[in-house]
Amino acid sequence: MQYLHTMVRVSDLDASLHFYCDLLGLEEVSRKDSEKGRFTLVFLAAPGERERALADKAPMVELTHNWDPEEYTGGRNFGHLAYRVDDIYALCEKLQAGGVTINRPPRDGHMAFVRSPDNISIELLQKGDALPPKEPWASMENTGSW
């Protein structure tokens, strides 16, 4: 058995690509538009994983955008996506500057949670040992649910 991808339905493809690629740092690997099926599939890989994703077709996140409007609720019911990051503080600063709410700040220098434009929970985990506690994160309260 081999893990391939996680599919996430998105209501606004441009907003989702801005979040996942421009802010979170994922890289677009492939895209498929289906006129007959009226959907677009965009496969994303973590930074530095593009070649592996192309060679193995895994692991990736598949953004599915259905062209006909649909309302998606309960994004939390599947759990969350998780990514190991080089500097959790720097990424949280970038996300926050991009208008993303840090739902669970990295108070411990190890873990944070944010949500995508479609309310998908994203866990960020510091690569290696936790970073020393740092403001403003150390004293920041949780916001919403994560």
Q: Same structural domain for residues 54 and 86?
A: no
Query: Is the bond into 59 cis (omega within 30 degrees of 0)?
Result: yes
Q: Same structural domain for residues 52 and 86?
A: no
* Catalytic, out of 27, 35, 123, 141: 123
Active site residue 28: no
Number of domains in the chain: 2
Cβ-defined contacts of 88-97 (< 8 Å, 24+): 88/112, 88/124, 88/125, 88/126, 88/131, 89/131, 89/134, 89/137, 91/24, 91/25, 91/124, 92/124, 92/137, 94/23, 95/23, 95/24
Give the tens place of pLDDT for each residue, 10-63: 999 999 999 999 999 999 999 999 999 999 999 999 999 999 999 988 799 999
The residue out of 36, 66, 96 marking a domain boundary is 66
Give the tens place of pLDDT for each residue, 55-93: 988 799 999 999 998 877 766 557 789 898 999 999 999
Residue 23 lies in a domain: yes
pTM of the model: 0.81
Residue 146 lies in a domain: no
Domain enclosing residue 84, as ranges: 80-139
Name the β-bridge partners of 31: 42
The residue out of 66, 95, 111 marking a domain boundary is 66
